[in-house]
């Protein structure tokens, strides 16, 4: 018996030694076999520096493995170090445990040309010798049986049916380098320092924590955090993308636009919560921003924006619901060029197929690695048409439910150049600001737009409407102090006369219903003057501009008229510009052919009808009950600044005078009329057209008199404070405009209100008295 035990011990010891020896030397044998027969196994050359297996710790290590391209020299997939630790002793407790999976220096270069990749030949090679189709089908059927009604397979249910539990811990990939290239269009995306960190994978009702990070070679960092529950299929994805360089997408833009260069960066900070069974029902929130976007056109001019930020409160694709906290656009710049053929620079930009397909020796070599001797991918076998059953029909989409809490566009500049007229026209609008709140798709909302014109002009637009019905809206436009000389080229083109001077104010109230436009427009022009008619011109309208303007001007060099516009905006022949020009031209022709009108104008205006003469040269008459100025008041004040432009030692002082007692009484009447008008018309805010209606209201109006009896007395002290506040507002408004005139600085212009004692002693009309001082 003792002899048998001794022999058995020797045999077992020998077997253990053999097993250990086998485990020790088997990796070298495997390495030699794989390297020597790799082309028989996968059709590619493979290089492996070393494979080792520790028989005591069951640690498998592979050093420097590389799978080459078809040329046998270029690396396709490779890594520097791979290590896996298995804990066989835990099998006795019913657990298949992997305590570590480590991969360092992963390299992969994926090339695509249309529908083929540089690994397509490997798949095709392996498929030829595949003898496991039956077994694969059995596995597929087994997985299908485990799928729920959504088609998702629950990993926990599969794990529960295994004879052992699975434990995978400490999965780490580091220092990876992944390259993707589309060899047809020449694009390249390279991920540097690719890394993955997974502390543990749980096939149970416990969160698996996955972290992925890498850098883009062209600029940008991406960090992704994933929490997943294999039991419930719930997941959370956190995405942190910073300063991703959009220039890598330039090759793709060639299929859509004709451009010279493109740059900018994208940043995304996003959280996504959902369930794998209902991906479209996931809730998304976070921020998306674009910075330093510049698109250079083939002409060399640029379009772009400094910053665009979108804050997403929640987004649910399945419900078609989107809640946007804010949309902020800062520092936008754009231009529009109109050419004689009716096209614009946007048409040139969107011209498809203008970019040449990349062509280089390296690109051709990369394409060969992908295509090789593969059949022509452009030839596909015709398939019989499939008839969709009623069950396959796409369900009706849910109505869009979207809302933007805050919209802000600021510091934006836009310019326009019109090459379609005789002499090109160029104009730049600055300080464009757009503000809106609670903007949604179906409910009418209000958006306000403001912008500055050259030489102190401005425009304000108020829009009210629903985005779902663009054919129905209200829009009010107010233009103030627009210098007309900038539009001289248009006047030259349409009439043959260049504009040499003049300012314009414009108020337009537009109501649109089902694309039917009802527009009321008031044009107020001051001190407009034109040069001699160009004998070489061929104008569209034969208008006697000089005679017409001379007759139209009143004694204060002012022209004011209404331009009603009606029509269907969908009519191809509809044009607001042509309607306005036709109205103006007809008016000019009409007055020019009226000799009685000319005689009457000469009798009333005398020699003052020619040139600028608003009374005394050192005074500007104002309305002390209003905060704003008229076109002629702006014009005369601006005209006076020519003195300081010629002599930098001069200083202009604009001193405001008004009689507080008389002004308060007049302001009281205007205020009461305004309050009565708002109440009777149901309006909170007034337009210039409303203010005109209030000014024309008679003091004896029955409704107004009844309103006075209702309200009783008004606090006179409060009225005086409001009058003083109006005076200060006028000062600031006038100073703002004057400081934009040529040669004006903060030192040579002052706008003030006279002291209280001088105001009380003032008699006559309210005015600005202009005095000159020497600096």
Q: How far apart are CA 42 and CA 72, in angstroms?
A: 13
Q: How far apart are CA 347 and CA 610, in angstroms?
A: 46
Q: Is the pLDDT of residue 358 over 70?
A: no
- Residue 225 tokens read as 């955090």
Candidate ranges 430-439, 613-622, 707-716; pick with highest mean pLDDT: 430-439
Q: Is residue 651 part of a domain?
A: yes
Nearest to 108, CA basis, from 31, 38, 192, 40: 192
Q: Is the pLDDT of residue 261 over 50?
A: yes
Domain boundary among 609, 630, 656: 609
DSSP state at residue 761? H
**In which order are the strands placed within the sheet that holds 767-774?**
619-621, 767-774, 650-657, 749-753
For residue 679, the tally of other CB atoms under 10 A from its CB is: 12
Q: Is the pLDDT of residue 278 over 70?
A: yes
Cβ atoms of 655 and 730 within 8 Å: the answer is no
Residue 223 Rama label (left phi>0; alpha psi -120 to 50; beta): beta
Q: Secondary structure of the chain: what % helix, strand, coil (to 5)? A: 30, 40, 30
Q: Is the pLDDT of residue 448 over 80?
A: yes
Same domain, 636 and 691: yes
Q: Looking up tokens 């665009």, which residue turns up?
A: 308
Same domain, 673 and 580: no
- Residue 115 tokens read as 């529908």
Q: How far apart are CA 661 and CA 759, in angstroms?
A: 9
Same domain, 765 and 624: yes
Q: Looking up tokens 């029902």, which residue turns up?
A: 281
* pLDDT tens by residue, 153-177: 555 565 565 655 677 888 899 888 9
Domain boundary among 561, 590, 609: 609
- Tell me what the mean pLDDT of segment 78-100 comes to: 79
For residue 441, the tally of other CB atoms under 10 A from its CB is: 16
Q: Is residue 309 part of a domain?
A: no
Angle (deg, nearest 10), helices 660-681 and 688-695: 110
Q: Mapping DSSP to helix (H, G, I), strand (E, B) and coil, where does residue 75 land?
A: strand
The partner residues of 296 in beta bridges, in order of sequence, read 261, 302
- Residue 663 tokens read as 């002004």
Q: How far apart are CA 732 and CA 752, in angstroms?
A: 9
* pLDDT tens by residue, 720-744: 999 999 999 999 999 999 988 888 8
Q: Is the pLDDT of residue 380 over 50?
A: no
Q: Is the pLDDT of residue 600 over 50?
A: no
Same domain, 758 and 655: yes
Same domain, 748 and 725: yes
Q: Which residues contact 368 (CB under 8 A, 6 or more apart)?
A: none
Nearest to 118, CA basis, from 175, 189, 218, 43: 43
Q: What is the pLDDT of residue 108?
A: 92
Nearest to 263, CA basis, from 289, 305, 293: 293
Q: Is residue 81 part of a domain?
A: no
- Tell me what the mean pLDDT of segment 140-150 comes to: 54
Answer whether 0.75 is exceeded by the pTM: no
Q: Is residue 317 part of a domain?
A: no
Q: Is residue 577 part of a domain?
A: yes
Q: Band of the pLDDT at 295, cuts 50, 70, 90?
A: very high
Same domain, 669 and 742: yes
Domain total of the chain: 2
Exposed, middle or buried by CB within 10 Å (0-12, 13-18, 19+), for 507? buried
Q: Which residues contact 180 (CB under 8 A, 6 or more apart)?
A: 110, 112, 188, 189, 190
Lowest mean pLDDT across 24-33, 208-217, 618-627: 24-33
Q: Which residues contact 747 (CB under 8 A, 6 or more apart)?
A: 651, 775
Same domain, 582 and 467: yes
Same domain, 600 and 624: no
How many residues comprise the chain? 775
Q: Band of the pLDDT at 409, cuts 50, 70, 90?
A: very high
Domain boundary among 609, 643, 666: 609
Q: Mapping DSSP to helix (H, G, I), strand (E, B) and coil, where does residue 90 land?
A: helix
Q: The domain that contains 709 carries what CATH number? A: 3.30.1330
Q: Is residue 766 part of a domain?
A: yes
What is the H or E stretch that residue 673 is in?
helix 660-681
Q: Is the pLDDT of residue 225 over 90?
A: yes
Q: Is residue 136 part of a domain?
A: no
Identify which has the larger pLDDT, 303 or 707: 303
Cβ atoms of 372 and 121 within 8 Å: the answer is yes
Q: Looking up tokens 């993707």, which residue turns up?
A: 180
Domain that holds residue 462: 453-609
Same domain, 652 and 590: no
Q: Looking up tokens 């636009």, which residue turns up?
A: 257
Q: Mapping DSSP to helix (H, G, I), strand (E, B) and coil, where does residue 148 land?
A: coil
Q: How far apart are CA 285 and CA 277, in angstroms?
A: 20
Same domain, 549 and 623: no
Q: Is residue 462 part of a domain?
A: yes
Beta pairing class for 473-483 and 458-465: antiparallel
Same domain, 459 and 603: yes
Same domain, 641 and 600: no
């Amino acid at each position: 018996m003792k002899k048998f035990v001794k022999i058995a011990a020797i045999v077992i010891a020998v077997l253990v030694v053999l097993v250990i020896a086998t485990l020790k030397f088997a990796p070298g044998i495997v390495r030699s076999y794989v390297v020597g027969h790799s082309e028989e196994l996968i059709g590619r050359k493979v290089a492996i520096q070393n494979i080792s297996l520790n028989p005591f710790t069951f640690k498998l290590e592979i050093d420097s493995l590389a799978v080459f391209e078809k040329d046998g020299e270029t690396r396709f997939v490779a890594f520097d170090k791979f290590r896996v630790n298995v804990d066989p002793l835990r099998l006795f407790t019913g657990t298949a445990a992997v305590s570590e999976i480590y991969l360092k220096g992963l390299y992969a270069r994926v090339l695509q040309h249309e529908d083929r990749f540089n690994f397509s030949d490997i798949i095709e090679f392996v498929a030829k010798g595949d003898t496991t189709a039956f077994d694969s089908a059995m596995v597929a059927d087994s997985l299908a049986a485990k799928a729920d009604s959504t088609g998702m397979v629950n990993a926990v249910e599969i794990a529960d049916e295994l004879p052992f539990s699975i434990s995978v811990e400490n999965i780490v990939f580091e220092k990876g380098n992944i390259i993707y290239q589309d060899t047809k269009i020449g694009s390249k995306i390279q991920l540097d320092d690719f890394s993955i960190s997974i502390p543990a994978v749980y096939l149970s009702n416990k969160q698996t924590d996955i972290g992925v990070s890498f850098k883009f070679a062209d600029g940008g960092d991406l960090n992704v955090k994933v929490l997943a529950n294999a039991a419930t299929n719930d997941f959370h994805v956190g995405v942190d993308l910073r300063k991703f360089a959009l220039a890598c997408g330039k090759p793709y833009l060639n299929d859509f636009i004709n451009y010279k260069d493109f740059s900018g960066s994208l940043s995304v900070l996003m959280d996504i919560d959902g369930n794998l069974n209902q991906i479209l029902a996931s809730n998304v929130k976070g921020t998306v921003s674009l910075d330093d976007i510049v698109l250079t056109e083939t002409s060399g001019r640029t379009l772009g924006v400094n910053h665009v930020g979108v804050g997403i409160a929640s987004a649910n694709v399945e419900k078609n619901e989107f809640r946007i906290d804010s949309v902020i656009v800062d520092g936008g710049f754009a231009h529009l060029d109109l050419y004689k053929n009716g096209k614009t620079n946007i048409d040139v930009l969107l011209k498809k197929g203008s970019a040449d397909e990349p062509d280089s020796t390296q690109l051709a070599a990369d394409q060969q690695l992908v295509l090789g001797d593969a059949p022509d991918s452009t030839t596909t076998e015709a398939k019989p048409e499939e008839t969709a059953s009623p069950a396959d029909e796409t369900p009706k989409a849910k109505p869009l439910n979207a809302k933007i809490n805050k919209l802000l566009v600021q510091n934006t500049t836009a310019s326009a150049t019109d090459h379609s007229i005789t002499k090109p026209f160029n104009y730049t609008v600055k300080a464009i600001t757009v503000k809106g709140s609670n903007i949604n798709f179906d409910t009418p909302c209000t958006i306000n737009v403001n912008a500055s014109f050259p030489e102190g002009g401005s425009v304000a637009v108020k829009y009210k409407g629903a985005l779902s019905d663009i054919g129905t809206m209200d829009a009010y436009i107010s233009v103030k102090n627009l210098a007309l000389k900038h539009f001289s080229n248009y006047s030259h083109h349409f009439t043959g006369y260049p504009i040499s001077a003049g300012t314009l104010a414009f108020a337009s109230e537009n109501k649109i219903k089902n694309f039917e436009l009802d527009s009321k427009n008031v044009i107020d022009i001051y001190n407009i003057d034109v040069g001699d008619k160009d004998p070489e011109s061929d104008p569209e309208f034969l208008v006697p501009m000089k005679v017409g303007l001379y007759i139209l001007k009143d004694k204060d060099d002012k022209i004011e008229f209404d331009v009603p516009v009606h029509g269907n905006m969908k009519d191809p022949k509809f044009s607001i510009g042509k309607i306005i020009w036709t109205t103006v031209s007809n008016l000019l022709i009409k007055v020019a052919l009226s000799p009685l009108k000319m005689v009457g104008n000469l009798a009333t205006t005398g020699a003052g009808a020619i040139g600028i003469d608003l009374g005394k040269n050192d005074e500007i008459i104002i309305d002390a009950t209003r905060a704003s100025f008229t076109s002629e008041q702006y014009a005369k004040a601006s005209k006076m600044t020519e003195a300081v432009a010629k002599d930098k030692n001069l200083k202009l002082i604009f001193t405001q005078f008004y009689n507080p007692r008389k002004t308060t009484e007049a302001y009281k009447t205007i205020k009461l009329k305004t309050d009565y008008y708002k109440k009777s018309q149901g309006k909170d805010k007034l337009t210039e057209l409303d203010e005109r209606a209030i000014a024309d209201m008679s003091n004896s109006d029955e409704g107004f008199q009844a309103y006075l009896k209702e309200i009783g007395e008004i606090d006179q002290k409060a009225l005086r404070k409001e009058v003083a506040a109006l005076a200060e507002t006028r000062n600031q408004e006038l100073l703002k405009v004057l400081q934009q005139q040529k040669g004006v600085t903060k030192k040579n212009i002052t706008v003030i209100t006279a002291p209280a004692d001088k105001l009380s002693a003032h008699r006559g009309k309210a005015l600005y008295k202009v005095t000159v001082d020497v600096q």
